[in-house]
Structure 1
Amino acid sequence: MLDTIPLGQPTVGDEELEAIREVFASGWLSGAGPTCQRFESRFAEVAGTAHALATSNCGSALHLGLQVLGAGPGDEVIVGDYTFPATGHSVMWTGATPVFADIRPDIWSADPAAVEAAITPRTVGILAVDVFGQPADYDELRQIADRHGLWLMEDAACSAGASYHGRPAGSLADVATFSFHGRKGITAGEGGALTTDDATLAEHARKLHTYGIAPAISREGSTDLPIPTFDEAGYNYRLSDLAAGVMLAQVDRLPTLLENRRRAARWYEERLAPLERVTAPVALDDREHPWQSYVVTLDPELDRGAIAGYLRQHGVQCNFGTYASHVQPVYGFEGELPISADLFGRHLAIPMHANLTEAQVDRVVETLAAAIAQPRG
């Protein structure tokens, strides 16, 4: 029986175990401690920003970012439609309304023209999504934001190690947010980060992520007894130092992990080229794709469910791409976004991770070709 090829798989080992041992030895396991501080400094270098804040997950980072940018009840935030609903949910958590914009048909991030068309007098900002890690069109989006007096935020959940016009993901907007979920390019199983160059925004986010006060480490070693005062309601959005230790090891791995994913993407592109009725994803020359996922587009006449079932029966994990957020009933969105809706029904994610071998890629593509060739009943 053939081994199953997983859809995603973390790359972890002795380095991560040693990092955890060091955190144990430090005696500080809880959130926002010295290991978190070290990770934040390292990750700010990756993102090319002055500040990074480690968070419990990307959803909490999104919420913090929107809060410190000032989104609130009565406001509208334009959101790239093709994304996991954490993006839209985070807008709702502030009391603001997400207004979804249709996407480019090639790289699936928000179409700048659709973003501008969605602006109303209630719009306060734009929340762009780097779909599967490939950065959105930040030069055009910045021009739109500046023209209309809006802030710009980057959902870089999948984008660690990506770049746009030579600038790293995380530095492309006023605030950016990352995910370290188990399927992401670097991972502690869960976790996230907020990055920014704005010291005031960073300080406010750090306060909110610890219930509305400075983290306990700021009082470590004090010779008196400082008692914090709560003047703003915050949250418990801290990353544990255990997870931060794992993330330090993962950041060390990042260059190799990126190269391995990009190599797997090249193998896929070569093998998929002769395959009819399947379109490989586009990677634009002016940005570096980190390949958090590898998502193909099936021709409309193909039965995606049947193809997915065949792949899974033959040991190849797969899934749909992501969500056309505007069709989710939670949002009550009125309007049609045809490109996002169409791709929501035709995208298929096939295995992508840094441990993929060339033989596994061959098997995935061969199994996909056999699935497509199955007679339709």
Structure 2
Amino acid sequence: MNATDAIPLVHASLGERELAAVAEVFASGWPAGQGPKGKALEAQLAERYGVGDAVAVSNCGAALHLALMALGVKAGDEVIVADYTFPAPAHAVRYLDAVPVFADVRPDTGTVDPQAVADLVGPRTVGVIAVDTVGLPADYAQLQAIADRHGLFLVEDAACAVGATYQGREAGALAEVACLSFHGRKGATSGEGGALLAADPAIGADARLRSSFGIGSIFDQSQVVGLPIPEFTEVGYNFKLSDIAAAILQVQIGRIGELLARRNTIAGQYGQLLADESLLTVPHVPEDRTHAWQSYVVTLDASVDRAAVAADLRAQGIGCGHGTWATHVQPVFASEHKCPVSADLFQRNLAIPMHAELSENQVERVVDALRASLRAHSASTLIPGGVA
């Protein structure tokens, strides 16, 4: 098989416009963080999402960390987090010596179950982090009602959901604070990067200051006549996003509609081709929301040997992955509290290629290979009376 025949799981849609934007930064002489391009990106994000402030940072994990600090989370506090996700929310909670409490998810969407959240609220609970699972927004109307009833904050981890919507509102603007990712597999990317979006400008100001060692923008200070010498009054972090990445993202944010339209087409093709496949279930999107399709994740029948299917696909040059994680079973977060739905999805989900560069023929090839492998590695096809 030639390398050109491979179908990668993910592929970033970066081209000449992004290269031109980077060239502008090189010519400007300021490639570092919190410079002109960073400010322009933050203004672009604040306008797009209709928020009080937007802070560009190095990644979504940094945004989550900054959000919890700005919201006043302290050691010993409990924060309810969606269990079925990349474990960044739980990491952010633990950074502050607080306690992540894992909430199970809906079996049809993989998003956090509001009833599970409600059942976990206790005397030490201070907030909730919901996750837009692999690009699908959670149930924010119910989650916000729970948060309001108990006086909790609600943070939206919209890492995977740039371009998605919930009840007509854009993912990233569904809670008082939201965190975005611009990692290489996202709908808008600079390779790495993230942003914190806050309804309250004070939250944004706190995050921006902490993201630059607690002393603010060196670029701004360099524009002042004289010699301003900032003072370090508290411990901060180096979570700045470079102006190189910010320039790329300005282009990418403008392309969200174009790239999402292509992902939607691919998802529709997968859904149509796999609709009658008895050995898997295609993603479910409730009528009140839309999917960003960061990933296309199918749920395999319990009779299927997922590892064997993955090995088959990869041997044919077709990228695939396990979907995402059941956080509560990871060794670093091992918890006696069980999330059975999340644990089940963790065992049975399979991510297949999804990116804006996929061709119709490639999608058909993925589906053909997947169907053949399902039958080769399903116990139900190997016994009398099994699926034909």
TM-score tier after normalising by the smaller chain length: over 0.9
Post-superposition shift, 1:223? 1.6
What's the CA shift string for 1:205-256, capped at 9, x where partnerless? 0110000112113323212222212222110000000111111111121110
CA distance in 1, matches of 2:127, 2:359: 42
What's the CA shift string for 1:301-341, capped at 9, x where partnerless? 10000011111111211010100000011113112111000
Q: Which residue of 2 aligns with 1:292?
A: 294
Report the identity percentage: 52
Q: Which residue of 2 aligns with 1:176?
A: 178
The answer to whether the 8 A contact 1:48-1:168 is kept is no
Does residue 253 of the first structure (1) align with residue 244 of the second (2)? no
**Of 138, 152, 155, which aligns to 1:153?**
155
Aligned residue runs from structure 1 range 1-377, under 5 A = 1=1, 3-374=5-376
SS of 1:362 mapped into structure 2: helix
Post-superposition shift, 1:57? 0.7
CA distance in 2, matches of 1:278, 1:201: 43
CA distance in 2, matches of 1:269, 1:192: 30
The answer to whether the 8 A contact 1:76-1:99 is kept is yes
SS of 2:178 mapped into structure 1: strand
Post-superposition shift, 1:70? 0.9
The answer to whether the 8 A contact 2:102-2:337 is kept is no
CA distance in 2, matches of 1:8, 1:221: 41
SS of 1:133 mapped into structure 2: coil
Q: Which residue of 1 aligns with 2:385?
A: none
CA distance in 2, matches of 1:69, 1:159: 23
The answer to whether the 8 A contact 1:107-1:281 is kept is yes
How many correspondences in the alignment? 377
CA distance in 2, matches of 1:161, 1:279: 24
CA distance in 1, matches of 2:279, 2:47: 42
The answer to whether the 8 A contact 2:35-2:220 is kept is no
The answer to whether the 8 A contact 1:85-1:323 is kept is yes
The answer to whether the 8 A contact 2:321-2:350 is kept is yes
Post-superposition shift, 1:147? 0.3
Question: After TM superposition, where is structure 1 displaced by more than 3 Å over at least 4 residues in a row?
Answer: none
CA distance in 2, matches of 1:144, 1:241: 39
CA distance in 1, matches of 2:170, 2:17: 25
Post-superposition shift, 1:358? 1.0
CA distance in 2, matches of 1:333, 1:69: 25
Post-superposition shift, 1:44? 2.0
> What amino acid is the match of 1:44?
A
CA distance in 1, matches of 2:165, 2:186: 16
Post-superposition shift, 1:260? 0.3
SS of 2:134 mapped into structure 1: helix
> What amino acid is the match of 2:138?
A
Post-superposition shift, 1:143? 0.4
After TM superposition, the score normalised by the length of structure 2 is: 0.95
SS of 1:103 mapped into structure 2: coil
CA distance in 1, matches of 2:300, 2:160: 23
Post-superposition shift, 1:67? 0.7
CA distance in 1, matches of 2:309, 2:49: 38
> What amino acid is the match of 1:290?
A
CA distance in 2, matches of 1:314, 1:300: 24
Q: Which runs of 5+ in 2 are unaligned?
A: 383-388
Q: Which runs of 5+ in 1 are unaligned?
A: none
> What amino acid is the match of 1:78?
I
> What amino acid is the match of 1:181?
H
CA distance in 2, matches of 1:70, 1:332: 25
CA distance in 1, matches of 2:301, 2:130: 27
What's the CA shift string for 1:159-217, capped at 9, x where partnerless? 11111111111111111101111111111110100001101111100110000112113
CA distance in 1, matches of 2:49, 2:159: 12
Post-superposition shift, 1:276? 1.6
After TM superposition, the score normalised by the length of structure 1 is: 0.98
CA RMSD of aligned residues (A): 1.1
